Amino acid sequence: MAQSRHITVMLGGPSAEREVSLRTGGAVAKALRTLGHTVDELDPRGLDWQLPKGTEVVFLALHGTYGEDGTVQRQLDALGVPYTGCDAEASRLGFDKRLTKERCVAAGVPTARFVVVTAADAPWPAGWQPPVVLKPVRQGSSVGLQFVDRVADWPAALAAALQFDSEVLVEERIVGRETTVGILAGVALPVVEVRPKSGAFDYQNKYTAGATDVFCPADLEPTTAARIQAAALGAFHAIGGRDYARVDVMIRPPGEPVVLEVNTLPGMTELSLLPKAAAAAGISYAELCQRMIDLALRHPVGGGKGADR
């Protein structure tokens, strides 16, 4: 039995992914309580939040801007309180799709061809052919995701994506199987494959029960699965990841992995993929939450004094 701790779960927050974060945090808090921990829930809607007195460690159940881009991590470092997930710098890199891809390219990790656009009147990229995918550079959970199958659709799709960030990543659309790899304590978990019943694996299909078929472990040749896991670990290390993350990887025929992005605070809802991968490795949901806490407590904390004891 793990030592009982006073844990604050930070959930909700100000981002476009607030509702999913509330679901993640609620599930985590419930699991931690079943393990005998004292659990507070803190919704940081603004910057003037205070940790509950006696907090020993923070479980970050935040998603999107503020929670996943390194901002709250820097605040917790200043307070001297340990927290789950990647540190501030890895979070900043992982949340920025352009920086993540640049790190992957530098590290030799296979990733899709890309270019970044910042102007709403930008022309179609020279030398490119559709289909392409447009992604706000600093958003998560497929927020603002646009698929462009015809050049004529470019202006409207670009305008839609630019509503969510000042920079948009234009990426070649990889046709193939869609997988994701959970990473826990530096080890790649079994590969998960997702197959939306209609359309793409967008925000709606991610968070609507029954909208997507999930296979874990994915039905893959062992050598292909190992290549996918190696690519995911390569991306995780390229941004300096720690403890855990989830890496999205497409598979081109006949089995070439192509990394899309690194999720440094992956979802932990009942539909989320990291818990499914952990379950396939024999790790229950509650045990997964406990391991995340244990990993957080191993790290030296920042220069602050911690929560008022």
* 186 has catalytic annotation: no
Any catalytic annotation for residue 205?
no
Compute the Cα dihedral for 162, 164, 170, 176 and give only its sign: negative
> Annotated catalytic residue: which of 5, 23, 242, 246?
246
Which listed residue (13, 17, 193, 244) is catalytic?
17
CA–CA dist 242, 89 (Å, integer) = 11
**CA–CA gap between residue 109 and residue 104 (Å, rounded):** 5
CB atoms under 10 Å from CB of 263, counted, come to 23
Q: Find how far residue 247's CA is from the centre of its chain.
A: 7
- Choose the catalytic residue: 263, 285, 291, 302: 263
Phi, psi of 47 (to 5 degrees): -95, 0
Q: Which position among 66, 83, 207, 244 bears the catalytic label?
A: 207
Give the active site residue among 85, 248, 272, 302: 248
Distance between CA atoms of residues 196 and 38, nearest Å: 38
- The answer to whether residue 153 is catalytic is no
Active site residue 263: yes
The active-site residue out of 141, 142, 205, 272 is: 141
User: Out of 140, 234, 267, 302, which one is annotated catalytic?
Assistant: 267
Catalytic residue, from 56, 243, 261, 302: name it.
261
Kindly report whether the peptide bond that precedes residue 130 is cis, defined as omega within 30 degrees of 0.
no
41 noted as active-site residue: no
Whole-angstrom distance, CA of residue 235 vs CA of residue 143 = 21
Residue ranges of the alpha helices (H) in the chain?
A: 18-34, 71-79, 88-95, 97-107, 154-161, 203-207, 222-238, 273-280, 285-296
Return the SS3 of 262: strand
- Give catalytic residue positions: 17, 141, 207, 246, 248, 261, 263, 267
